[in-house]
Structure 1
Amino acid sequence: MNTSVATVCLSGGLVEKIHACAAAGFDGVEIMDADLVAAPESPEEIRALCERLGLRIDMFQPFRDGEGVDEETFADNLRRAAAKFDVMERLGTDLMLLCSNVGTATVGDEDVIVRQLGALADLAAERGIRIAYEALAWGTFVDDYRDAWRLVERADRPNLGVCLDSFHILSRGHDPADIERIPGEKIFFLQLADAPALAMDVLQWSRHHRLFPGEGDFDLTRFLGHVLRAGYSGPLSLEVFNDTFRQTDVVRTAAHARRSLTWLADRTSAAHGWADSRIPAPQAARGVDFVEIAAADLHEVDQLLGQLGFTFRGRHRSKPVRLWSAGQARIVLDEQVRSEVPRLSGFGVTVDDADAASARAASLGADPVYRRTYRGEVELRAVASPDGTEVYWNDRDPEESWIREFEGGDVADGFAAWIDHINVSYPWQEFDEAVLFMSSVVGLDAEPAAEVPGPRGLVRSQVMRSPDGVVRLPMNLAPPTAPVPHRHIAVRVDDAVAVARRARDRGLAFLPIPANYYDDVQARFALEPERIAELKDLGLLYDRDGEGEFVHFYTPTIGGLFLEIVERRGGYDGYGAPNAPVRLSAQRQVT
């Protein structure tokens, strides 16, 4: 796979961007005119830097408002083009992006546009330069890639072709199937971007809300399939205008961008039965192996787990690590870190082939995690997600493998339980990257996003899950001015009421729920007074839909996390979303 990226995707100066692109493993870059103009380095110096780092300069872009104008304006456009051709020669690139006119277009006559495109191409040909004509989605007269191709075909110049941009095509709802009518050699360049489905002005949508492949709602797998079937053999390049990416760390964003292209190429190859770009197939998640909490001192978490009825399974024989379990819900407490604040530091996933899962993660550029392992101990494959949360894979029965490394604890479990879901939260600048990581590396599918009201604004919730729901990872995005919500572990049990009663008897202090909440539950669901009293007495929350019921409660927050005990009755498959604002408000009151 031949990859490229437009420098406009990244933050920083041009030299920083080029170094980050090389470090991420890109083969080439598109040099944005504005980036070069603002750079203190000369075009020759930028060219030398790219050569030293092994990067091609695939394209210089953009040249705007060149065609569809009166003759006086066009004469000046030829002068502007000649000046930019000088710059391109100094950069050492032979391809210029020409965008359809949106600013000075006054002539919609196709004969005039064809003649002017031809004249621009002829001037470029004198310098050995090619021109890729792109239909902008908001072009004054040319806003459809099929029109751009028809004009290029009529102009009939060997150095004039088209540039296809997934955003400009898919945002307008144009059918990409007609791409296959364009000869592959006339598709001079391909730019890729994803985007969320938004009802807004297409220019603002493009300038602020593009995403990397795999993060939005566009069917880029189908789109790319049409382009490759047309015979295109050039770079797969990213052009993503996004306010977040232009503020975040340039090295991290470049790695994020490169991962998105690998994911897209793999998905496209798999969808069409091609083998050229395949990486190891994603491993289906069979369940949550364990969840890990880390801090220098976790005695409060020990106490909490004991109050909930978890069984202490022992201490690790060579590390300051402890294990608690209830049925299949296993929680590892790791005191090998210096942080005083307990945090959800990692989780394990059971798969059929841990080595294959690890190999796929490496192919997608995930950072491997090193854990000291002594002779006779199980080495679990692991990588770090973008925020540092560690993901482990295990293809063996934990009772017969890593659990045996814990000594001095009890064997019997107090009650049946499973990890129902792991709720993680991210600041605004990390959210989209985390979604792509969990889908591409961990192999989880994204459900439609929802918004939950919170005390400081709307919290966006994006659930990532395995197809059968045995692994669920709700991901929360807080408003920019609000603190990042705490993370939590949700443990599923058969009888939440019984677990709550026993936990209270052991001294657990529940998250206080206001009496107004139970008045609302009674009004919404008309429960029997005895049930309302029971819920209120134990601090339980309740939800119901057409498939079943959901009963749950929350523990106090310790550091950066808390636990939730959930009971699903019937076919209820949600997460008690109507109760989330109550929980968020209650947690704010006690912190």
Structure 2
Amino acid sequence: MRTSIATVCLSGTLTEKLHACAEAGFDGVELFEPDLLASPTSPEEVGALARRLGLSLDLYQPFRDAEGVTEPELAAVLHRARAKFRLMQRLGVDTVLVCSNVGTATVDDDAVSADQLRRLGDEAQAHGVRIAFEALAWGRYVDDYRRAWRIVERADHPAVGVCLDSFHILSRGHDPAEIAQIPAEKIFFLQLADAPALTMDVLSWSRHHRLFPGEGSFDLAAFLAHVLDAGYTGPVSLEVFNDTFRQTDVQRTARQAKRSLTWLEDQVARRPLRSRRPDGPSRLPDVGQPVAFDFVEVKAEDAGEVDEVLRMLGFTFRGHHRSKPVRLWTQGAARVLCNEHLAREWAPTLAAIGMEVPDPEASVRRARLLGAPSVFRRTRAGEQDLVAFRAPEGTEIFFAEPSLAEPTWVPEFDGGEEPGGAPALTIDHVNLAHPWQTFEESVLFHTSVLALRSQGTQEVAAPTGLVRSRVMRSDDGAVRLALNVAPVLDRGLPQHVAFRSPDVVAAARAARARGLHPLPIPANYYDDLAARFDLPAAVLDEMRELGVLYDRDESGGEFRHFYTRTVGAVFFELVQRDGGYDGYGAAGAPVRLAAQHLASAGR
């Protein structure tokens, strides 16, 4: 399947964009006219550079306001078109995107539009160019791909076909199934974009909030399957207008874009297509979702304070690694590594997560095919070689085999104590802090590489602004990752690990006896709990004393949890889920954020 990308998706100069697209592995590009106009490179040199890089120039765009006009206006359109067609000849591009009229259309008549496209097609054919007519979602009269096809069909010109754009079709709720009624030879081009589910005018939605496949809410696999079932054999191209992508690193964004198409190709290949072509979509290695967390790793120049917090939570020190300055703490199936290796000037930071996956070798092959950056890890003889890849925000993700007992790497640690005593814990979920520019990339990474599913985005009020959060999870909830973005002016969100306990109140009481001072929760919070829930006064008093928070869902499921204070950029949480509760205590999140803000300010 040939892949292409519009230069409008990326930051940088036209030359920088072409190099990034080639390095990411794209076959071709759509040339966005403003990129050419701003470039000092001649059209001939642009075409030559693309050929040297192994890129085809698949589309020149956009050509606007070409149909539905008066006869005098059409004369100006044809004059403009001839100049653009000559330019395309210099570039070596044979297809131009003609958008449905949004500004100058005054004639709402399919016959008139068809005739004008036919005359435009005559000029295009004389220059060896094809016209791909696209219905913009905000077109003045033509805003539906089905009407665009009726006009093209009526024009009946060999140089006039349609361009299908997933955003313009799906954002308006149009049914893509009718694409099958368009002859394959008349589908001249295909553009793909995902997008979040937003309620706003479609033009602003399109210009600022498009996403790469797998990052939004559109069913692009079903959409692309309809197009391939219609017999389309041209490039599958990305056209994504996004404010973030146009100001972040061009090479990184190009790799992200290519990963999205590789993932989408796999999703389509798994659908029952009517026909299979040799150059059709290919599948990635089959992988199951992670079945459990293997470990979390906190990295720091001095992790002694983290050691102390884990001890007060009831964790057992299991020893030092035989060849690295790494310590292991465990409690039941919850395993925490405190890593001081190559951590000079690091404050405590959540640096790595181990995932138990059904087939680690398949997961590694899939990650490599998706272009996930690998992590070098030195191992000595007799040490388990766990393969890792780096997530967009920097966390290292390790793949390990599921284990009913302790993992085979645990004996690499010695000099510690035998586990026992405190009630067994598991890792319930992990919260990862993200800079604003990697959030969508992280959603795609965890969807495509780890096969996790994305839940809806939530916003939580913090003293410094709104925190945006989205949970990536396995279907059974055994693995949950919360991706959080701090407000722009925030100094940074801490990351945290939540451990599931059979009895959080007892765990909080035991931790207090060991010297733990939990995150202080204001009395106002407990006064509100008393108003919202029928909790006994004695229960509320104990929760207030221990800093335990509470939530209850509509079906009666209950959630109890408490937080440690933040050490460096990490804190821990103990949670208890009863009655099928599946959330995260969202009502208490603003309270926790405010308490952490006060603690960080020394108040």
TM range (shorter): over 0.9
The one of 287, 291, 313 equivalent to 1:308 is 313
- The residue number in structure 1 matching 2:354 is 348
Give the Cα separation in 2 of the matches to 1:276 and 1:138.
31
Alpha-carbon distance between aligned partners in 2 of 1:181 and 1:339, rounded to the nearest angstrom: 63
**Is residue 2:453 matched to residue 1:448?**
no
Tell me by how many angstroms 1:276 deviates. 4.1
Larger displacement relative to structure 2 (474-483 or 341-350): 474-483
Partner of 2:287: 282
1:587 aligns with 2:558: no
Task: Work out the CA distance in 2 between the residues paired with 1:541 and 1:314.
Answer: 33
377, 388, 394: which one aligns with 2:383: 377
In structure 1, C-alpha distance between the alignment counterparts of 2:512 and 2:12, rounded to whole Å: 54
Residue 282 of structure 1, CA deviation: 2.9
Letter in 2 for 1:114: A
Q: How many residues align?
A: 591
Structure 1: distance between partners of 2:416 and 2:451: 34
Identity across the alignment (%): 59
Alignment deviations for residues 315-362 of structure 1 (CA, whole Å, 9 cap, x no partner): 111111111010000011111122421111110111111000011111
What residue is the counterpart of 2:336 in the other structure? 331
| Distance (Å, rounded) in 1 between the aligned partners of 2:287 and 2:28 | 28
Match of 1:521 among 514, 524, 529: 529
For residues 207 and 392 of structure 1, the distance between their equivalents in structure 2, rounded to whole angstroms, comes to 37
Structure 1 residue 271 displacement after superposition: 2.5
For the residue of structure 2 that corresponds to 1:340, the secondary structure is: coil
Which residue, 418, 421, 430 being the options, matches 2:438? 430
**Do the aligned residues in 2 keep the contact of 1:293 with 1:346 (CA within 8 Å)?**
yes
Distance in 2, matches of 1:112 and 1:445, equals 48
Q: Give a deviation string over 1:416-435, Cα, whole Å, max 9, x none.
A: 00000001121221111111
What is the alpha-carbon distance in structure 2 between the residues aligned to residue 544 and residue 156 of structure 1? 63
1:406 — aligned with what?
Answer: 413
Match of 2:120 in 1: 120
Shift of 1:481: 3.0
Structure 2 distance, partners of 1:283, 1:39, is 47
Q: Deviations over 1:175-208 (max 9, x none)?
A: 1000000111111100000111112111111111
Distance, in Å, in 2 between the alignment partners of 1:333 and 1:271 is 44
How is 1:208-287 mapped onto 2 (pairs within 5 angstroms)? 208-272=208-272, 276-287=281-292
CA contact (8 A) 1:424 1:475 kept: yes
TM-score by length of 2: 0.96
Contact 2:265–2:281 (CA<8 Å) still a contact in 1? no
| Structure 1 stretches of at least 4 aligned residues deviating more than 6 Å after TM superposition | none
Aligned to 1:294: 299
Equivalent residue of 1:76, what SS? helix
The question of whether the paired residues in 2 share the 8 Å contact of 1:283 and 1:356 is answered with no
Amino acid at match of 2:366: R
Alpha-carbon distance, 1:520 to partner: 0.8
Task: Report SS of the residue matched to 1:407.
Answer: strand
In structure 2, the partner of 1:418 is: 426
| Structure 1 counterpart SS, 2:406 | helix
1:73 matched residue in structure 2: 73
Distance 1:481 1:559 in 2: 19
Query: Secondary structure, in 3 states, of the residue corresponding to 2:364?
Result: helix
Partner of 2:195: 195
- Please name the residue that 1:62 is paired with: 62
Helix, strand or coil at the partner of 1:227: helix
Q: CA deviation at 1:581?
A: 0.5
Q: Contact 1:312 / 1:325 at 8 angstroms: preserved in 2?
A: yes
Cross-structure match for 1:469: 477
Could you say what secondary structure the match of 2:378 adopts? coil
C-alpha distance in structure 2 between counterparts of 1:257 and 1:272, whole Å = 25
Task: Choose the corresponding residue for 1:558, options 567, 573, 587.
Answer: 567
How much does 1:156 deviate? 1.1
User: What is aligned with 2:395?
Assistant: 389
Structure 1 residues 27-36 or 149-158, which shifts more? 149-158
Within-5 A mapping of 1:137-176: 137-176=137-176
Q: What is the TM-score when the length of structure 1 is the normalising length?
A: 0.98
One-letter code aligned to 1:412:
P
Task: Name the stretch that deviates more: 230-239 or 502-511.
Answer: 502-511
Give 1:569's aligned residue: 578
Do the aligned residues in 2 keep the contact of 1:542 with 1:576 (CA within 8 Å)?
Answer: yes
Choose 109-118 or 169-178, whichever is displaced more: 109-118
* Helix, strand or coil at the partner of 1:399: coil
AA partner of residue 114 (structure 2): V
1:175 maps to a residue whose letter is D
The answer on whether the counterparts of 1:323 and 1:331 sit within 8 Å (CA) in structure 2 is: yes
Amino acid at match of 2:187: I
In structure 1, list runs of 5 or more residues that go unmatched.
none
Which string of whole-angstrom CA distances, capped at 9 and with x for unpartnered residues, describes residues 84-117 of structure 1? 1111111111111111111111122222211110
Give structure 2 stretches of 5+ with no counterpart: none
- Deviation at residue 400 of structure 1 after TM alignment: 4.8
Distance 1:251 1:29 in 2: 14
Displacement of 1:396 in angstroms is 4.8
Structure 2 Cα separation of the partners of residues 215 and 270 of structure 1: 19
Q: Secondary structure of 2:212's partner?
A: coil
Shifted more, 389-398 versus 237-246: the winner is: 389-398
CA distance in structure 2 between the aligned counterparts of 1:530 and 1:110, rounded to whole angstroms? 75
Asked if residue 322 in structure 1 is aligned to residue 327 in structure 2, the reply is yes
Q: Which stretch has the larger CA shift, 473-482 or 143-152?
A: 473-482
- Per the TM alignment, residue 415 of structure 1 is displaced from its structure 2 partner at its CA by 2.4
Deviation at 1:484, TM superposition (A): 3.0
Deviation at 1:541, TM superposition (A): 0.9
Alpha-carbon shift at residue 402 of structure 1 (Å): 0.8
Deviation at 1:449, TM superposition (A): 1.9
Where do residues 11-30 of structure 1 align in structure 2 (5 Å cutoff)?
Answer: 11-30=11-30
Measure, in 1, the Cα distance between the counterparts of 2:388 and 2:5: 29
Aligned amino acid, residue 371 of structure 1: R
Trace 1:525-536 onto structure 2 (pairs within 5 A): 525-536=533-544
